[in-house]
Structure 1
Amino acid sequence: MKTLKKIMYVFLTFITLSCEEKQEPLKVEVYETSESGNKLTPITEFSTGDKVVEINLLPEEKFQTITGFGGAFTESSAYLLNKMGKENRKKIIDAYFSKDGAHYSLTRTHMNSCDFSVSNYSYTPVEGDKDLEHFTIEEDKDDLIPFIKEAMAASEDGFKIFGSPWTAAPWMKDNNNWVGGKLLPEYYDTWASFFSKYVDAYKEEGIDIWGFTVENEPLGNGNNWESMHYTPDEMTNFVQNHLGPKLEADGKGDLKILGYDQNREHLKEWVDSQYKNEETSKYFDGTAIHWYASTFDVFPEELQNAHHKAPDKLLIQSEACIDAEVPVWEDDTWYWKKEATDWGFEWAPEEDKHLHPKYAPVNRYARDIIGCLNNWVDGWVDWNMVLDTKGGPNWFKNWCIAPVIVNPDSDEVYFTPLYYTMAHFSKFIRPESKRIGLTKTDDELMVTACENPDGSIAVVVFNELKTAKTINLSINEKNVVFSIDAQAIQTIVIPKSQTN
């Protein structure tokens, strides 16, 4: 791995000779990750071609405020870190959370077990414990909690954590099972108390929880691993009449509550229920979404509709990964090739096959994050931060890929190109930044831009074509010309001094 060391930035100045009016040179910092081998590498020399793509930034056009970028603390990742040597454990945590690393700012974790746990477990192990007198997070104390605390120590700015339950304990459900079923109405208040007790228990460990999603994948997952089902109106009822009032009564009204937490293609029916009126909207702070309906199509109409339905609410991508795949070890080129499939490639109905093409893992991440940002999403959270060479551990054997793959037996670490792809956003687009407007003359390039709280602007460009592109980037009558490699993602940082 090429570590993300503190970089002595080299300012680049190029003047577009073809411009009719001479513009003032723009000084920028350029970082690139590419199929050719760059890994968030500072770029100072460029070859330029005749055809120039014009990108003009419009900082006066402001859109959503960014909540953050990051990944999930899972028991599987924590279990693997416990098996790694001290040096590599620190290397991984620093790579994700330090300012010199990816600088993650928004994270998720599971409440009770999930598929990426070593086994099934609940914080409420005693059947019939309606008052939760035996509530305990003891299961998390040897893996998840140390992982989170070491990440906190590595993070200079801190990060937000939201919890997501996959299921209540079986004794609270109508099928008395970890998988499927619904929460029995007699336990709605008990389940609301569960969230409050979770916050208190983690607070005692020195960890502040920022918020929750109400339920991971309330539509279910095909009865494969931990799940608990809600209809849109059932979830709205639970939040409106139980969870929201309980948190408010316990002095925790500032905790964020995110509804839905599943795939985008059904987003409309959920936001219609959540934001039906003032009463139903009161306790919802936003909506969470996943990408598994398609890792190719961002469903822009659904995202636009969700924003316009509730423009002041959060819209956060809470989970994404390259699923149904075993990781490829130390072969960067594989992550740029159309070898990977997703869960829908094999069995999706014929009418949905176009949503699940073979598509390069890096391209999925880069396209989705840019597409989401350009359609009002304010946070994007990856799934597991660390998995092994098999794509686990996972008690259901639901193998997936993480940006960092480890071999705990040999104490080896592989930072895949997905890690650097995430860092292009998380490192340079900081919380409370604002997405800004832009125009571009090439539809083949994907571009997004955000103005950070310090006044700097980060522009992320993705070129998924097999040919390099020349770019003329301009803002406020200043410009710079540079190139982006074939199959590459770039972040261009414009210091505040250059944005006026």
Structure 2
Amino acid sequence: MNPLGPVVQLWLSTADGTLRLARQPDIETDVDEASSADVVIDTRKTYQSIVGFGAALTDSSAWLIQNKLSEQQRGALLNDVFGPSPGLDLNMVRLTIGASDFSLQPYTLDDVPFGDTDPSLQHFNVSANLHDVIPAMHEALAVNPQLRIIASPWSAPAWMKTSENLIGGALLEQYESNYAQYLVKYVDTYRSYGIPIFALTLQNEPGFVPVTYPGTELSADQRARIIAQYLGPALASRKPRTLILDWDHNWDEPEQPLSVLADPDAARYIDGVAWHCYRGGPGAQTQVHRAFPGKDAYVTECSGGDWAYGDTGELLWFSRDLLLAGLRNWARGIVYWNLALDEHHGPHFGGCTSCNGLVTIDSRTGEVSRNDEYYAFAHFSRFVLPGAFRVQSTATDKGIENVAFQNASDGSIVLVVVNSNKDARRISVMQGKISFEYALPSRSVATFVWDPNQTESTWVRFIRRYFEKAAGTHNTVK
């Protein structure tokens, strides 16, 4: 009896919310010499390895988690977000160094009275984080000790800035070495609390100076100088070494990181480029990759919210335009903005008044609801494991996009497909001699998973199907 090809597992979400990461019946495959297919996967052609997926534990998120959830609710949420399947299985976190717009009040880690300075950083402290951020991080690390943490400052201490204020202004050149040391002290202090910093950026959105929340202008020349002369050498001697990522801003200005990476003294210490999604497109990541193929790409911030393209939900945009397109353009990791916000899109200090968290915490009851962005990330984070490689898959058209991976741990193939059309579309998939077809519902996201080395006889498959059906394994789960 000839062996049959592997079965394909399928999880499906639809933009109308009818299905949300719902397990569907397995798909049978054929093993033959198919001549063509809509999506052809070639595992011999590999691209970047995947570090992971995550969200920012902003001050607001940490405060809600620590103050608006019971111990049982908090444990359930953190296990759902950072735990393995059926959770999100996130393995990246972004932290803010000092306050962001999603803090309850503005602060840095070295605030002194107006007119005073502190070049020796004697007043450096993380007391503002001791009640919310640090305890929440300890609990998250207890769920997943392998979390990769990226940290970004919104503002240098006011005494280092031209504005002498956390809002507005630029970093004074005379304090560049002190600012580098400020970032190093953050890395060392957090490590002393058992929170290792995987990567660091010099400044969140250095080309944008907000008027309602902390921010600092930091030019490409200044970033290159700080990295080359101060921050790079200081971090190079630490083991394990914290990575340095440049830019940490939108896709629409690739010339910014290109300029910094063109400085060989700075580039030797720079491990990659951090990107945000709010302007431009992810093709900028490929532009920089082609110029500097040894430097990695990470998307470190992207938020959903109640705005125009969110009228019909944000499942498709985040699945297609952020995650799928970001990964097709060399991203090794993608991090959402707020992990959790309340029913009023907060709390926050200035900034975005309509942003969503991956989840919403009801500030009165502690009830947690999962947003569209949660399910978009889940279609990737639950199945594409750290160390997986993106592999070649032919691009499709007519509103059908895809990206494929092979997990290094077990060799399984993961294919994510987005159907943006208002009608169902049938696609055919081929990987080696394995092929299958499936009719994607309208406006849907599908994750297909299979083991290319799995074979079984017709009889074995019949017996397995019998017991699976008896156990109800194909019931739709929301």
Q: TM-score, normalised by structure 2?
A: 0.87
Deviation at 1:440, TM superposition (A): 4.9
Where do 1:344-363 residues align within 5 Å? 360-363=313-316
Counterpart amino acid of residue 334 in structure 2: W
**CA–CA separation in structure 2 for the residues paired with 1:242 and 1:252:** 17
Paired position in structure 2 for 1:142: 131
Is residue 39–residue 420 contact of structure 1 (8 Å, CA) maintained in 2?
yes
The residue aligned with 2:468 is none
- CA–CA separation in structure 2 for the residues paired with 1:404 and 1:241: 41
Answering whether residue 120 of structure 2 is matched by residue 131 of structure 1, we say: yes
Find 2:427's aligned residue among 449, 456, 471.
471
Equivalent of 1:420 in 375, 381, 384: 375
Instruction: Give how far 1:246 is off.
Output: 2.0
Structure 2 counterpart of 1:143, which letter? D
Q: Match for 1:32 among 12, 35, 43?
A: 12
**CA distance, structure 2, for counterparts of residue 277 and residue 181 of structure 1:** 25
Structure 1: distance between partners of 2:156 and 2:172: 10
**Is the Cα–Cα contact under 8 Å of residues 161 and 170 in structure 2 kept in the other structure?**
yes
The answer as to 2:225 corresponding to 1:237 is: yes
| Aligned counterpart, 1:446 | 401
Q: Is the 8 A contact 2:6 2:453 kept in 1?
A: no
Report the Cα offset of residue 91 of structure 1: 1.7
Q: Deviations over 1:276-313 (max 9, x none)?
A: 1432311111111101115xxx242x222110111111
Equivalences for 1:276-287 in 2 at 5 Å?
Answer: 276-287=262-273
Question: Given that residues 23 and 477 in structure 1 are in contact (C-alpha distance below 8 angstroms), is that contact kept between their aligned partners in structure 2?
Answer: no
Q: Is the 8 A contact 2:316 2:444 kept in 1?
A: no
Contact map agreement 2:93 2:147 (CA 8 A) in 1:
yes
Deviations 1:428-464 (A, max 9, x none): 1122211100125544211001111121111111112
Distance 1:80 1:219 in 2: 30
Once residues 287 and 395 of structure 2 are traced to their aligned partners in structure 1, the CA distance between those partners, rounded to angstroms, is 24
Residue in structure 2 matching 1:291, options 277, 291, 296: 277
| SS of equivalent to 1:26 | coil
Whole-angstrom CA distance in 1 between matches of 2:80 and 2:43: 31
Deviation of the 1:170 alpha carbon: 0.7
TM superposition shift of 1:197 = 1.0
2:444 corresponds to which of 485, 488, 491: 488
Match of 2:55 among 71, 74, 90: 71
Aligned to 2:290: 308
| TM-score, L = length of structure 1 | 0.83
- Structure 1 stretches of 5 or more lacking a match? 1-21, 326-339, 343-356
Compute the displacement of 1:221 (Å): 4.2
| Residue 202 (structure 1) aligns with | 190
- CA-based RMSD of the aligned residues comes to 2.2
Q: Is the 8 A contact 1:24 1:477 kept in 2?
A: no
CA contact (8 A) 2:209 2:217 kept: no
Q: Deviations over 1:130-152 (max 9, x none)?
A: 11122111111110011111111
**Aligned partner of 2:304 among 301, 322, 326:** 322
* Distance of aligned partners of 1:408 and 1:282 in 2 relative to their CA distance in 1, 3 Å threshold: same
Find the aligned partners of 1:77 and 1:307 in 2 and give their Cα distance: 33
Residue 359 of structure 2 aligns with which residue? 404
Q: Which residue of 2 aligns with 1:161?
A: 149
Identical positions, percent: 29
Moved more, 240-249 or 66-75: 240-249
In structure 2, the residue matched to 1:387 is: 341
The amino acid of 2:266's aligned partner reads: T
> Given residue 69 of structure 2, which amino acid in structure 1 is its aligned partner?
M
* 2:175 is aligned with 1:187: yes
Which letter maps to 1:78? A
**Aligned position for 1:331:** none
Residue 36 of structure 1 deviates from its aligned partner by 4.7
**Offset at 1:60?**
0.8
Structure 1 residue aligned with 2:235, among 232, 239, 247?
247
Matched residue, 1:462 = 418
1:85 maps to: 70
> Which amino acid is 2:158 matched to?
P
Deviation at 1:119, TM superposition (A): 0.5
CA contact (8 A) 1:189 1:242 kept: yes
After TM superposition, give the deviation of residue 252 of structure 1 in Å.
Answer: 5.2
Residue by residue, what CA displacement relative to the aligned partner does 1:174-204 show, whole Å, maximum 9, x if unpaired?
1101112111122111111111111121112
What code does the residue aligned with 1:55 have?
V
- The change in CA–CA distance for 1:45 and 1:494 in structure 2 (over 3 A counts) is closer
Which moved further from structure 2: 371-380 or 35-44? 35-44
Q: What CA deviation, in whole Å up to 9, does each residue of 1:52-103 have, x standing for no partner?
A: 9721111111111212111011110111112112222122111110012111
What is the DSSP-based 3-state SS (H/G/I as helix, E as strand, rest coil) of the residue aligned with 1:378?
strand
Matches within 5 A, 1:104-119: 104-119=90-105
Q: Which has the larger displacement, 142-151 or 469-478?
A: 469-478
Q: Which amino acid in the other structure matches residue 319 of structure 1?
A: E
Distance in 2 of aligned mates of 1:443 and 1:378: 27
Amino acid of the structure 1 residue aligned with 2:181: S
The question of whether the paired residues in 1 share the 8 Å contact of 2:61 and 2:338 is answered with yes
Moved over 6 A (4+): none
User: Which of 20, 23, 42 is 1:42 aligned to?
Assistant: 23
Question: How far apart, CA to CA, are the structure 2 residues paired with 1:463 and 1:152?
Answer: 36
Structure 2 residue ranges without an equivalent (≥5): 29-35, 456-478
In structure 1, C-alpha distance between the alignment counterparts of 2:132 and 2:293, rounded to whole Å = 38
Structure 1 residues 255, 397: CA separation in 2 closer, same or farther (over 3 Å shift)? closer
* 1:260 equivalent in structure 2: 247
Structure 2 match to 1:7: none
Partner amino acid, structure 2, of 1:390: H
Which secondary structure does the structure 2 equivalent of 1:61 belong to?
Answer: strand
Letter of the 1:418 counterpart: E
| Shift, 1:489, TM fit | 0.8
- Given that residues 463 and 488 in structure 1 are in contact (C-alpha distance below 8 angstroms), is that contact kept between their aligned partners in structure 2? yes
**Is the 2:282–2:325 Cα contact (8 Å) retained in structure 1?**
no
Residue 470 of structure 1 deviates from its aligned partner by 2.1
Aligned twin of 1:329: none
Equivalent-residue separation in structure 2 for 1:223 and 1:398 (angstroms):
12
- The yes-or-no answer on 1:429 pairing with 2:384 is yes
